[in-house]
Homo-oligomer: A and B are copies of this chain.
Amino acid sequence: MAGNRATKILSVKDQIAEQLRSDIISGEMPPQTKLNEKELAERFGLSRGPIRDVILQLTKEGLLISRNNCGASVNSVLEPKLQRLMIKLRRSIEEYAITELNGNLTDQNIAELESILVSLQDALDREDYTEVTKIDISFHQYLIYQAGGEELVNIWYPYVMRMRLNYKRITSSSECVNEHRAILEALKAQDSAAAVKAVKHNIK
């Protein structure tokens, strides 16, 4: 066979959304930055239609804030109280996922998670912190998806995005890999309690 991992086909809109999320999370588009539809359309070589769709999507995710007839801009950070609530909610979701997954991961699942950790270490070595963030997220997303499918990912995603928005800069310690490895090891050992603990320790 020509490769185990299925090559992901992303729709045009998903790719643009991904790009904009990167720009926002990386700090390239700080809060309050206004988005101009025409400008973005030209940048991506599209018309305004798909761009509008993406803006709507990111607004629902909480990354952007839109007002009627006034356009969209990058959302500002949450006040601390709301941020704490979001962390609590995200932890609840990930705790659920871990508990569901315990004992239900296939060897291939484990292998894919291992491979994500390798990429993570690699990005850290290259000091590509935007990529680090994306891989970090994809590790969690993999677990969430396995536990609850697209449905669960959809409710989980906004919390991650909002949290990332609040950490203006990555705390790029090598702790990052260790923390994720701890989660994976606990899952491999089917030690649910340890896995939950490791996840909670990682989300902060």
Contacts and interface: CB of A to CB of B under 8 A. Distances in A.
Interface of A: 11, 49, 52-53, 56-57, 60-62, 68, 78, 81-82, 85-86, 88-89, 92-93, 96, 100, 148, 151-152, 154-155, 158-159
Contacts of A92: 85, 88-89, 92
Contact of A93 (B52, B61, B89, B96): B89
Given A62-B151, A85-B93, 14 more contacts: A56-B57, A57-B60, A60-B60, A60-B61, A62-B154, A78-B151, A82-B148, A85-B96, A85-B148, A88-B92, A89-B89, A89-B92, A89-B155, A155-B158
Count of this chain's copies in the oligomeric assembly? 2
A111 B53 CA distance: 39
Contacts of A158: 155
The listed residue with most B CB atoms (<10 A of its CB), out of A53, A155, A158, is A155
Given A53-B56, A92-B85, A93-B89, A62 B100 contact: no
A154 B82 contact: no
Contacts of A61: 60
A100 B81 contact: yes
Contacts of A11: 68
Contacts of A68: 11
A184 to B, nearest CB: 23
Contacts of A96: 85
